[in-house]
Chain A
């Protein structure tokens, strides 16, 4: 799929927008729409990179991006938050000028670093930059948040960014079994996130509430 790329730069820039928007519009719905948007845009990027998928692995990649990352992951978390009647506002990073500047600074750093990694400027360089920005922004979310939902969003952003990076390589679907294994891992991980979200709720909890009196294995 890496050979014969059609222009994906506009899509990559849109993806960057989808990565940044939920940081500034802080509601849990925006975060989940952001995740869905990442999945769909990555699917579109994968399609543009190999417009006529012939191998089963290429179809599986598209199905993973559309159905697992674009639909299942956000929908699974959405259902729980709706059932819990979670308040609409949900910060992914602290809502202040310093955090917003840091987020934009991270994007600049990612673009500068991609120039070092990919000497020829072009679409590959942009792809690496956007993937790098995705990973770093995911870490930024994780570093600044203590509530489970925001941490889940941070972890899923990192996973999506890694998938985007994988799309640009020549080795990204070496064996169908491995590809299916990776997708199964994502599905089970999101399933577990759903379980934890139901169990823990959206607020950070106090670890001091534990008991040592219970009987355990």
Chain B
């Protein structure tokens, strides 16, 4: 009896564990499959044409949707491949796969709806859903600091999005006060708001910019971002920083496209101020931090500041701003996923305890190196040309003070980032590690992202270039 139990019980246990592993892998494979299907659809839409409003006017595919769909879906696919590889490397993660996949798919669906929604309230609801799906993903089981970070993320997002809703309602009142029928349909708004510039509109725009600024991590309500990006699992951080950020940016573009013509001074002034203040606080934090993920998080705030300034400068900077924003999405995905790999091996985020990356983890070392160069705006990456075009627009619009502050802050953040990251890459190894080499498959998403970054800097395909020009034109401005 005993020998029977000795043979059967381990076999049954092994079978059970094997079944669980197969199920977890199948769940992850499903996530990759959905990511692949979404990417294919997004690319087909991006190379296609604009679509007139459909489904009762609530859905519309225009140049802005097409561009951002083609950015967020491939990044989601890359993150799902990363997750698939992580559960192969760390079997203990398999238990939480079902929950992760469910929430990630809710997040992806809502993110795509944000981009194709033709109604301000519909895209607001979808943006809320991305937040509600992402907040539980930030929590790492049993880690109090991640629970608090997740709570702060939800709180700031709820308040930020509450302000956005209040702003939309004020904008509606502004139209009403002008004697027009209020509407929230994006394709009808330009006609409805023509010539409308009253106190309600100004108040509404103020709330919307402050609320969206909170979601983008712009000052003054940015403090949730470093904490959340640091505490969340790297895959979730990449989703927040590269996917959700771009959804919020697309909403900001929608608002600017409609409301800038009648309120240029207010929109531009607010964006430039928020951008400069964000750059100042993030640069000071970059100097002080010794935590790899927080460093990339502060760099994200810095970049959000650059994007806000680019948007505030107006037409001359629009193309550069788009190039910068698209490059930035891929840079953040590469850097956060790489930071995850580094932390998984060294078991620390303290940059002073990590050195000799190129020897210990060659793939991660190279990704961190190239990602940092792209982050700092080196050629030949798209971020370099984007930044250059924004700077040139600042000069041509004679905003000398903003230009000087921009250059000083960019230089300071360049030195601070290099001083912290370069010793990690090229420094002498402090300990001997013999970790198994990463497989090509596990590195493939980051390689693909780097290829996109280089392509954006060297040769932008005509289809993408046309799309960038069309979105840039739609942003308008002086």
Contacts and interface: CB of A to CB of B under 8 A. Distances in A.
Contact of B162 (A155, A170, A175): A155
Contacts of A195: 136
A166 B135 CA distance: 27
Interface stretch (A12-20, A46-54, A76-84, A182-190): A182-190
Interface string A198-217: 01100001111111111111
A199 B154 CA distance: 14
Nearest to B344: A215
Contacts of B162: 155, 158-159, 162
A175 B141 CA distance: 40
A196 interface: yes
Interface stretch (B232-240, B315-323, B440-448): B232-240
B144 A209 contact: yes
Which of B58, B151, B235 has the most chain A CB atoms closer than 10 A to its own CB? Answer: B151
Contacts of B340: 216-217
Nearest to B198: A117
B268 interface: no
A212 B235 contact: no
B83 A217 contact: yes
B146 to A, nearest CB: 6
A181 B176 contact: no
Nearest to B347: A213
A57 interface: no
A175 B132 CA distance: 22
B166 A162 contact: yes
A151 B153 CA distance: 12
A210 B145 contact: yes
A215 B344 CA distance: 7
B467 interface: no
B176 A170 contact: yes
Interface residues of A, number: 42
B121 A174 contact: yes
Contact of A169 (B145, B158, B172): B172
Contacts of A206: 144
A1 interface: no
A74 to B, nearest CB: 17
Contacts of A45: none
B146 A210 contact: yes
A213 B143 CA distance: 10
A36 interface: no
B173 interface: yes
A155 B158 CA distance: 7
Interface stretch (B40-48, B122-130, B383-391): B122-130
Contact of B227 (A135, A192, A207): A207
Contact of B348 (A175, A196, A199, A212): A212
B254 interface: no
A151 B93 contact: no
B445 to A, nearest CB: 14
Nearest to B122: A178
Interface string B89-133: 010110010001000000000000000000101100100110010
A87 to B, nearest CB: 20
A216 B340 CA distance: 8
A182 B121 contact: yes
B346 to A, nearest CB: 9
B169 A165 contact: yes
A169 B125 contact: no
Contacts of A207: 144-145, 148-149, 227
Determine chain A's interface SS by DSSP, over half rule. Answer: helix
B184 A171 contact: yes
Given A208-B145, A214-B140, A215-B344, A155 B169 contact: no
B119 A178 contact: yes
A192 B137 CA distance: 12
A216 B145 contact: no
A66 interface: no
Interface string A124-148: 0000000000010001001000001
A162 B145 contact: no
Nearest to A205: B148
A70 to B, nearest CB: 19
Given A155-B162, A159-B162, A217-B83, A169 B182 contact: yes
B176 A185 contact: no
A203 to B, nearest CB: 11
Contact of A216 (B122, B166, B233): B233
A179 to B, nearest CB: 9
Contacts of B121: 174, 178, 181-182
A210 B231 contact: yes
B147 interface: yes
A55 interface: no
Contacts of A116: 199
Given A189-B132, A200-B147, A210-B146, A217 B349 contact: no
Contacts of A196: 147, 150-151, 154
B463 to A, nearest CB: 34
B347 A212 contact: yes
B36 to A, nearest CB: 19
Contacts of A178: 119, 121-122, 125
Contacts of B155: 142, 151, 155
7 contacts: A135-B166, A148-B151, A165-B169, A171-B169, A178-B119, A207-B144, A210-B231
Interface of B: 56, 58, 83, 86-87, 90, 92-93, 96, 100, 119, 121-122, 125, 128-129, 132, 135-136, 139-151, 154-155, 158-159, 162, 165-166, 169, 172-173, 176, 182-184, 199-200, 203, 227, 231, 233-236, 340, 343-344, 347-349
Given A178-B121, A215-B90, A215-B92, 11 more contacts: A117-B200, A158-B159, A170-B176, A174-B121, A178-B125, A189-B132, A192-B136, A196-B154, A205-B147, A214-B140, A217-B235
